């Protein structure tokens, strides 16, 4: 019998119990070895729900006791660095939920550790795995459209109630999305989440921007508005990239009605592209007038996972990729470098907003 990828899940909150644990349980080439969570009550509920007998309230004890090939890290944002570092030091491949970490120096450290221990950090950005994203990245980074001049990134969503500490987990209609536990008030707490819309939502759109374009942020100017909650809800960010291009990265979590928007446009010397991640469509426009339509590809599995809100969001994809990486079946399809560039942007943006919109050089984050 072929070997199975032996994987543990660290953090048994909302997203792990909704996406990661069910994916591992269903995967024929994976063995879910153990669960870990500092919250014994939540851990017990997850263990019972998914029939997993080996559990730990101390993830370090789990790492010491269990024979593992990889780990899925889905703890609150502020704990990502400590947990990921420990896993990499033990030579484990990991899926690391977004945002990678909260500080650029931490991201650099994890990337270095991964190289040192020959491990892969697979970032938990499901949209990276869609056919439209892969094709857009291929065309842009091939140079076919020429140098990038400008990027526009917009993400509007309805996360406002989470920033108010209201996850509506007591609503019977939320059972499908919260099979064990909801997020509670973690996203309104800067100590655990690091911030609001930036670290919960902009992290997705910014990562897509960097993943497709291959650009790196050089300087950042930002303004943020918390409205009436302890974390940012509305973000407006201007970025200067390493090739001289400018980017506008904007977001609001206060949408009421509909799914909001996640749109990215990349304008180049010889054409441009338009990506819509709510409709899961896109178009590549070439200077000669020709167009290439980007649509979901059933053969690639794009349409096999539809989010509860109706749009295509392959939440299973990062964990599937972890199993493939462990078994040598595929390269890392959502690499750590994208996570690092996203952290650089967000780290600088929060610093800039705290200083009234002063420009922050990314290099200064490493001083």
Q: How many structural domains is the chain composed of?
A: 2
Tell me whether residue 321 is in a domain. Answer: no
Instruction: Determine how many CB atoms are found less than 10 A away from the CB of residue 308.
Output: 11
pLDDT digits (tens, 9 = 90+) for 68-111: 999 999 999 999 999 999 999 999 999 999 999 999 999 999 99
State how far the Cα of 238 lies from the Cα of 222, in Å rounded to an integer.
6
Dump strand ranges (E) for 168-287: 217-225, 234-241, 246-252, 261-268, 271-276, 281-286
The side-by-side arrangement of strands in the sheet containing 291-294 is: 291-294, 281-286, 271-276, 261-268, 148-156, 246-252, 234-241, 217-225, 360-361
22 and 142 inside one domain: no
Instruction: Determine how many CB atoms are found less than 10 A away from the CB of residue 3.
Output: 10
State how far the Cα of 122 lies from the Cα of 248, in Å rounded to an integer.
26
CATH number of residue 85's parent domain: 3.40.50.720
Tell me whether residue 184 is in a domain. Answer: yes
221 touches 237 (CB < 8 A): yes
Tell me whether residue 349 is in a domain. Answer: yes
Residue that terminates a domain, selected from 83, 100, 125: 125
Report the DSSP pairing between strands 55-56 and 121-124. Answer: unpaired
Average pLDDT over the chain reads: 95
Tell me whether residue 37 is in a domain. Answer: yes
Tell me whether residue 322 is in a domain. Answer: no
211 and 99 inside one domain: no
Residue that terminates a domain, selected from 125, 144, 174: 125
Q: Is the pLDDT of residue 297 over 90?
A: no
Nearest Cα to Cα of residue 210 among 237, 242, 252, 250: 242
For the chain, what is the total number of helices (H) and then of strands (E)? 13, 15
Phi, psi of 63 (to 5 degrees): -60, -35
pTM: 0.96
197 and 342 inside one domain: yes
Q: Is the pLDDT of residue 301 over 90?
A: no
153 and 106 inside one domain: no
107 and 136 inside one domain: no
Read off the pLDDT of each residue in 26-49 and give the average, rounded to a whole number.
97
116 touches 91 (CB < 8 A): no
145 and 105 inside one domain: no
Residue that terminates a domain, selected from 65, 94, 125: 125
Q: Is the pLDDT of residue 308 over 50?
A: no
Tell me whether residue 329 is in a domain. Answer: no
Give the domain extent around 70.
5-125
166 and 91 inside one domain: no
75 and 148 inside one domain: no
Nearest Cα to Cα of residue 176 among 42, 307, 25: 307
33 touches 68 (CB < 8 A): yes
Nearest Cα to Cα of residue 37 among 57, 53, 20, 54: 57
pLDDT digits (tens, 9 = 90+) for 251-296: 999 999 878 999 999 999 999 999 999 988 999 999 999 999 998 7
Give me the pLDDT at residue 300, please: 63
Tell me whether residue 169 is in a domain. Answer: yes
CATH number of residue 229's parent domain: 3.30.360.10
Tell me whether residue 325 is in a domain. Answer: no
State how far the Cα of 135 lies from the Cα of 283, in Å rounded to an integer.
11
């Amino acid at each position: 019998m072929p070997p199975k990828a032996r994987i543990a899940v660290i953090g048994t909150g909302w997203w792990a119990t909704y996406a990661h644990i069910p994916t591992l349980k269903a995967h024929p080439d994976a063995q879910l070895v153990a669960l870990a969570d500092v919250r014994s009550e939540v851990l017990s509920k997850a263990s019972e729900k998914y029939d997993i007998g080996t559990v730990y309230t101390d993830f370090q004890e789990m790492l010491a006791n269990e024979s593992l090939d990889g780990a899925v890290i889905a703890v609150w944002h502020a704990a990502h660095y400590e947990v990921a570092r420990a896993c990499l030091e033990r030579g484990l491949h990991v899926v690391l939920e977004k945002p990678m970490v909260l500080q650029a120096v931490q991201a650099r450290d994890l990337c270095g550790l991964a190289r040192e221990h020959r491990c892969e950090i697979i970032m938990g950005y499901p949209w990276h795995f869609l056919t439209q994203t892969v094709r857009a990245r291929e065309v842009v980074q091939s140079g076919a459209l020429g140098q990038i001049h400008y990027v526009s990134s917009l993400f509007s969503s309805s996360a406002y109630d989470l920033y108010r500490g209201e996850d509506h987990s007591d609503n019977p209609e939320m059972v499908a999305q919260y099979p064990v536990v909801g997020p509670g008030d973690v996203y309104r707490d800067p100590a655990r989440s690091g911030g609001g819309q930036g670290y919960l939502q902009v992290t997705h759109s910014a990562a897509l921007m960097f993943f497709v374009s291959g650009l790196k942020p050089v300087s950042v100017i930002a303004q943020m508005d918390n409205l009436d909650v302890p974390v940012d809800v509305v973000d407006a960010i201007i970025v200067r990239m390493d090739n001289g291009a400018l980017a506008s990265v904007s977001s609001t979590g206060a949408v009421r009605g509909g799914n909001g928007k996640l749109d990215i446009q990349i304008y180049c010397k010889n054409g441009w592209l338009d990506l819509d991640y709510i409709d899961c469509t896109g178009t590549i426009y070439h200077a000669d007038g020709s167009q290439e339509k980007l649509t979901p590809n059933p053969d690639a599995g794009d349409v096999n996972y539809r989010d509860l809100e109706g749009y295509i969001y392959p939440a299973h994809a990062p964990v599937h990729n972890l199993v493939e990486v462990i078994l040598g079946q595929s390269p890392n399809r959502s690499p750590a470098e994208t996570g690092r560039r996203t952290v650089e942007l967000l780290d600088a943006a929060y610093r800039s907003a705290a200083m009234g919109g002063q420009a922050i050089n990314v290099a200064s984050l490493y001083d």
